Chain A
Amino acid sequence: MVKEKSAGWNGISKLLLKRVLASLVVLFLMITFLFFLLRIAPGDPSQKFVSPDLSPRLAAMVRQSFDLNSSLLDQYKTFILNLSKGNFGISYTYQVPVIEVIGQFLPFTIIFSLICFVIQISCGFVLAKFVVKNINGPRDKIISKASLMVYAMPSFVIGVALILIFSVWLNIFPSSGLSSFDFSSYNFFQKIFDYVRHMVLPVITLSFGGIAVYYKYLRDNLEEVYNKSFVENLRAHGFEEKVITRKHVIPNAVSPLIAVAGVELGLLFGGALITEVIFALPGMGRLTVNAILSRDYPLVLGCTFVSGVLIIITNLAADLLKAKMDKRIVKGILN
């Protein structure tokens, strides 16, 4: 028994090492590809320095200070050299190190994404469990149709509708922002309440679509597992329905969902542009898009790298979780 367990952990650590190495290669290739793509694509970071109010000489000087006049290969060499020291360079827009800029936006995105993720999974699960014993019954039909409708609805429609109802008509929640102007004068509890008040509508907006996705996955998985012969077998052996559901059906239904959840969480970490714009939230989505529009090359590369790392981590976590649940998966991935 002990021998078997240690072999399992050995497999997981091998899996971990293999995946980390592969991920590093993927990250390197992705960054290299993006580096050249950005510079080949039309657009000029010094464009904003061409204006009737500015001297024509300024744009030329800025180009030089951004090192945009040297050859593409030289720029790449400098970039890789800096990257090896953990330095993404200075953001053209913010004029501070890229890492510092990302550091201001990432914590919000991670917390916001995790809250939405937990809500999506738990609501999806509760709804699926609510209908699964009554498949094709009225509740199943109503919830399935409603979830399809919610899934098909773009988040900006949900966001605007929520603002209209809860901010304009009912005047319950603020329509944008992360905190009130007087936030700094609040005590700890008031601060928490203030954050919550501001986050209710964005969290609902971003969670809605995800709830529908997880609901659909779980509902179908639960239905499939319930119809399997081993469940019939358990019933025939006189096991209680509660025990069958909790110990056998749910673990089997949840397992395929882990991979999907890993990808979804990674994508959430990349930022939710529409929700961030509607509710004026300081997230990675807005940061990345603004960086692309202003051709802030170092910041685009930094944001992409961080998003890439987060997606890899969440996928890896999902794999490990799956492997922990079912050791056959380790073998499968290693092979």
Chain B
Amino acid sequence: MRNKYILAILLIFTILFLPSCTKQIPISQNRVVASISSDIESTNPLFAFDIDEGTISELLYLSLVQHGWDFNTGSMTTQPMLAKSWEWNKDSTSITLYLRDDVKWSDGQSVTAKDVIFSFDVYSDPLVQSKLYGSFKHFYTDTSMHVDLKKTFDVINPYKLTINFKKSSPASFYDIDFPIIPQHIYKNVSRKDFVTAEKEIKPVTDGPFELAQWNKSQSIILSANTKSFLYNSDNIEELIFKIVPNYYSQLTQLKRGEIDFMQDIRADDYPLLRGQNNLKLTSLKGREYDYVGWNNLDPEIYKQTKRIVPNKLFGSTVVRTALTYAINRAEILHEFLDNHGEVAFGPVAPIFSSAIDTSLKPLPYSPGKAKQLLASAGWKENKNTGLLEKNGREFSFTLDIPSGNPRREFAATVIQNNLREIGIKINIEKLEPEIFFQKMFARELNAWMAGWSVSIPPDLKQFWYSKLEDAPLNVASYQSKAADKVLEEIESTRSEKFKDELYKKFQEIIYKDNPVTFLYWINNLMAYNKRIKNFQLTPLGPYHRCWDWSVR
């Protein structure tokens, strides 16, 4: 009897487990598998708030134009997409677009001017709360920033329309560069409930890929849209985004060939991947930088009265400059990032080569110079404690960093040691990221370390404009009339050449004022399977024109 039970159990286990012991089928199909660390929340471009959502929605829905990258000038170029050609009027306040007549939605309906107008309408509707809400600054809008459709659009025929911008506005292609959504699918959806109602609707798309499957928390499978004018039967049939939350699991799967592409690889794992014959490693110049924030205003007074009073420690340009001299940025870059990046001296990324002021060089690490500057600002060393003092006040403060970021934890320790050398005592406090960012945006922190990823083209006003209500990201509360003037000029200028000059002028101002200490630009380290061909690496992201990828 007992033997019978054992036999039965063995049989069940054999039936279940034996087939599972076969080797995994190697990825030989015409597909590429990329890893992402968390699931997306929406494939709809209206609500594509994070990077992966943006990438996926842009592969599903076509925009009017697409951008390319000119490595010579370090700027974007504009190429046709849904619009096959265009004409700007003389003063660049209106553009006539000629749409392709061979683009169909996945349900067979044609993509026409109606869809374009509807998209502008929905994206700018305050009830919808899309990711572009409030961005239509160069358009005729009502007081709630909703685009005025009558004033803005002239439809000549289903495939030709004119978009009129505000008379004085410096409109550009960036104002019309977003995915278009189908009017016939969403026209009856209540605007107030759009965000929830659209989840019930099966995506109807017109991009180079279609949504084949979305297995929640597992994978998003896109299949090539064989009806698209971008389709080429030699290229990949499927692009799969596999959700792997654990970084080390991603690395393991990359080595095993379970995934073909991974980005944001840590510098210390990079040498280990070099020995992998199946992988090609690449380092993309980054748009992301780390900085030490010095609150230029007194956080306590600002919190209570909203008055801008210079910070007792960091309100002085001389002190901030001294602190920049005192931090060994090259050491952090070398030790932690294995030199996959470059020391920063301002907020304009090195990728914008025509806008970068090459005459400026990062301040060198010089504790002597730092001490000298601090002495000129009245900070003298107390022989007993070894710390700097001014009017009986010790130079000590708390440096807040978000927890769970090894790079910032390492950098904070280096900074702590560097500043201790010149007589400044800092206490490092790790805050849970949500709490950290809430305090940072409320301008409650005194000194902190964080990072920014800059947009293309660079949008500096949000970060550095003195009027804090208009610059929610000016968390250091930097105040400069000279910088404000340049920022206003950048905003109202059409000429790209003149803009570049203004960017350079702005960098000079920032270089002198050191509102924060810019640490380093971080390269995006990536690895992809050698079987992927036509992989184009530009600052526009690794998936730029990924429909042209093929596999060996």
Please list the residues of chain A having a beta carbon within 8 angstroms of any beta carbon in chain B: 42-44, 47-58, 61-62, 65, 90, 93-96, 104-105, 160, 163-164, 167-168, 171-181, 183-184, 192-193, 196-197, 200, 277-282, 286, 290, 293-295
| Pairwise interchain contact A179-B245, C-beta atoms closer than 8 A | no
22 A-B residue pairings within 8 Å (CB atoms):
A43-B438, A44-B434, A52-B454, A53-B131, A55-B132, A55-B134, A56-B134, A56-B462, A56-B470, A61-B129, A96-B196, A105-B217, A163-B252, A167-B252, A173-B24, A175-B249, A175-B258, A179-B218, A181-B31, A181-B33, A193-B20, A280-B242
Main secondary structure on B side of the interface with A: mixed
| Pairwise interchain contact B249-A176, C-beta atoms closer than 8 A | yes
Given contacts A47-B438, A181-B221, contact A196 B17 (CB under 8 A): yes
Chain A residues lying within 8 Å of B248, measured Cβ to Cβ, are 160
Is B472 part of the contact surface with A, judged by Cβ < 8 Å? yes
Is B219 part of the contact surface with A, judged by Cβ < 8 Å? yes
| Pairwise interchain contact B218-A172, C-beta atoms closer than 8 A | no
Which chain B residues numbered 201 to 218 have a C-beta less than 8 Å away from chain A? 213, 215-218
The 4 nearest A-B residue pairs measured at CB: A55-B134, A197-B20, A282-B217, A43-B434
| Pairwise interchain contact A181-B129, C-beta atoms closer than 8 A | no
Chain A residues lying within 8 Å of B133, measured Cβ to Cβ, are 55, 57-58, 61
Chain B residues lying within 8 Å of A42, measured Cβ to Cβ, are 432, 434-435, 438-439
| Pairwise interchain contact A58-B129, C-beta atoms closer than 8 A | yes
Chain B residues lying within 8 Å of A196, measured Cβ to Cβ, are 16-17, 19-20
Is B41 part of the contact surface with A, judged by Cβ < 8 Å? yes
Chain B residues lying within 8 Å of A278, measured Cβ to Cβ, are 246, 249
| Pairwise interchain contact A168-B41, C-beta atoms closer than 8 A | no
Given contacts A277-B245, A280-B218, contact A62 B255 (CB under 8 A): no
Which chain B residues numbered 159 to 216 have a C-beta less than 8 Å away from chain A? 195-196, 199, 213, 215-216
State in angstroms the CA–CA spacing of A48 and B452 once bound together: 14
| Pairwise interchain contact B246-A280, C-beta atoms closer than 8 A | yes
Return the contact of A95 from the options B42, B213, B216 (Cβ within 8 A): B42
User: B76: shortest Cβ distance to chain A, in Å?
Assistant: 15
State in angstroms the CA–CA spacing of A42 and B256 once bound together: 42
Closest to B31 in A: A181
Closest to B132 in A: A55
Return the contact of A163 from the options B24, B249, B472 (Cβ within 8 A): B249
| Pairwise interchain contact B453-A52, C-beta atoms closer than 8 A | yes
| Pairwise interchain contact A277-B134, C-beta atoms closer than 8 A | no
State in angstroms the CA–CA spacing of A199 and B33 once bound together: 21
Return the contact of B256 from the options A47, A50, A168 (Cβ within 8 A): A168
Chain A residues lying within 8 Å of B472, measured Cβ to Cβ, are 50, 56
State in angstroms the CA–CA spacing of A278 and B438 once bound together: 29
State in angstroms the CA–CA spacing of A184 and B219 once bound together: 13
Closest to A58 in B: B133
Is B145 part of the contact surface with A, judged by Cβ < 8 Å? yes
| Pairwise interchain contact B434-A277, C-beta atoms closer than 8 A | no
| Pairwise interchain contact A52-B218, C-beta atoms closer than 8 A | no
Is B272 part of the contact surface with A, judged by Cβ < 8 Å? no
Chain A residues lying within 8 Å of B132, measured Cβ to Cβ, are 55
Given contacts A42-B438, A61-B133, A286-B217, contact A181 B256 (CB under 8 A): no
Chain A residues lying within 8 Å of B433, measured Cβ to Cβ, are 293
Given contacts A52-B452, A167-B252, contact A176 B134 (CB under 8 A): no
User: B514: shortest Cβ distance to chain A, in Å?
Assistant: 21
Is B243 part of the contact surface with A, judged by Cβ < 8 Å? yes
| Pairwise interchain contact A58-B246, C-beta atoms closer than 8 A | no
| Pairwise interchain contact B21-A94, C-beta atoms closer than 8 A | no
Given contacts A47-B437, A282-B216, contact A171 B199 (CB under 8 A): no
Return the contact of B242 from the options A172, A177, A295 (Cβ within 8 A): A177
| Pairwise interchain contact B434-A175, C-beta atoms closer than 8 A | no
Is B140 part of the contact surface with A, judged by Cβ < 8 Å? no
Return the contact of A280 from the options B135, B245, B437 (Cβ within 8 A): B245
Please list the residues of chain B having a beta carbon within 8 angstroms of any beta carbon in chain A: 16-17, 19-21, 23-25, 31, 33, 38, 41-42, 47, 49-50, 126, 129, 131-135, 145, 195-196, 199, 213, 215-219, 221, 238, 240, 242-246, 248-249, 252-253, 255-256, 258, 432-435, 437-439, 441, 452-455, 459, 462-463, 470, 472-473
Chain B residues lying within 8 Å of A295, measured Cβ to Cβ, are 434
Closest to A292 in B: B434
| Pairwise interchain contact B41-A94, C-beta atoms closer than 8 A | yes
User: B472: shortest Cβ distance to chain A, in Å?
Assistant: 4
| Pairwise interchain contact A171-B24, C-beta atoms closer than 8 A | yes
State in angstroms the CA–CA spacing of A136 and B20 once bound together: 38
| Pairwise interchain contact A181-B219, C-beta atoms closer than 8 A | yes
State in angstroms the CA–CA spacing of A41 and B238 once bound together: 44
State in angstroms the CA–CA spacing of A175 and B242 once bound together: 12
| Pairwise interchain contact A104-B216, C-beta atoms closer than 8 A | yes
State in angstroms the CA–CA spacing of A58 and B136 once bound together: 13
Closest to A282 in B: B217
Known contacts A50-B441, A96-B196, A181-B238; can you find 10 more A-B pairs with CB under 8 A? A44-B438, A50-B437, A50-B473, A57-B133, A62-B129, A94-B199, A167-B252, A168-B252, A168-B256, A171-B256
| Pairwise interchain contact B215-A179, C-beta atoms closer than 8 A | yes
Chain B residues lying within 8 Å of A47, measured Cβ to Cβ, are 434, 437-438, 441
Closest to B195 in A: A95
Return the contact of A167 from the options B17, B256, B439, B453 (Cβ within 8 A): B256
Chain A residues lying within 8 Å of B49, measured Cβ to Cβ, are 48-49, 51, 54
State in angstroms the CA–CA spacing of A281 and B213 once bound together: 17
State in angstroms the CA–CA spacing of A159 and B23 once bound together: 19
Chain A residues lying within 8 Å of B473, measured Cβ to Cβ, are 50, 52
State in angstroms the CA–CA spacing of A56 and B20 once bound together: 52
Chain A residues lying within 8 Å of B129, measured Cβ to Cβ, are 58, 61-62, 65
Chain A residues lying within 8 Å of B439, measured Cβ to Cβ, are 42
Chain B residues lying within 8 Å of A168, measured Cβ to Cβ, are 252, 255-256
Return the contact of B199 from the options A52, A95, A281, A293 (Cβ within 8 A): A95
Chain B residues lying within 8 Å of A277, measured Cβ to Cβ, are 245-246
User: B132: shortest Cβ distance to chain A, in Å?
Assistant: 8
Chain A residues lying within 8 Å of B215, measured Cβ to Cβ, are 178-179, 183
Chain B residues lying within 8 Å of A171, measured Cβ to Cβ, are 23-24, 256
Chain B residues lying within 8 Å of A163, measured Cβ to Cβ, are 249, 252
Closest to B453 in A: A52
State in angstroms the CA–CA spacing of A51 and B334 once bound together: 29
Closest to A61 in B: B129
State in angstroms the CA–CA spacing of A116 and B33 once bound together: 30
Chain A residues lying within 8 Å of B463, measured Cβ to Cβ, are 52
| Pairwise interchain contact B41-A52, C-beta atoms closer than 8 A | no
User: B138: shortest Cβ distance to chain A, in Å?
Assistant: 13
| Pairwise interchain contact A174-B245, C-beta atoms closer than 8 A | no
Chain A residues lying within 8 Å of B31, measured Cβ to Cβ, are 181
Closest to B20 in A: A197
Closest to B433 in A: A293
User: A300: shortest Cβ distance to chain B, in Å?
Assistant: 13
| Pairwise interchain contact B246-A193, C-beta atoms closer than 8 A | no
User: B463: shortest Cβ distance to chain A, in Å?
Assistant: 7
Chain A residues lying within 8 Å of B238, measured Cβ to Cβ, are 181
Closest to B442 in A: A44
| Pairwise interchain contact A54-B131, C-beta atoms closer than 8 A | yes
Chain B residues lying within 8 Å of A52, measured Cβ to Cβ, are 452-455, 459, 462-463, 473
| Pairwise interchain contact B252-A175, C-beta atoms closer than 8 A | yes
State in angstroms the CA–CA spacing of A158 and B239 once bound together: 32
State in angstroms the CA–CA spacing of A175 and B452 once bound together: 34
Given contacts A61-B129, A181-B221, A280-B244, contact A43 B435 (CB under 8 A): yes
Chain B residues lying within 8 Å of A197, measured Cβ to Cβ, are 19-20
| Pairwise interchain contact B41-A178, C-beta atoms closer than 8 A | no
State in angstroms the CA–CA spacing of A94 and B196 once bound together: 9
Chain A residues lying within 8 Å of B221, measured Cβ to Cβ, are 181
Chain A residues lying within 8 Å of B50, measured Cβ to Cβ, are 48
State in angstroms the CA–CA spacing of A308 and B208 once bound together: 46
State in angstroms the CA–CA spacing of A43 and B243 once bound together: 26
User: B448: shortest Cβ distance to chain A, in Å?
Assistant: 15
Chain A residues lying within 8 Å of B462, measured Cβ to Cβ, are 52, 56
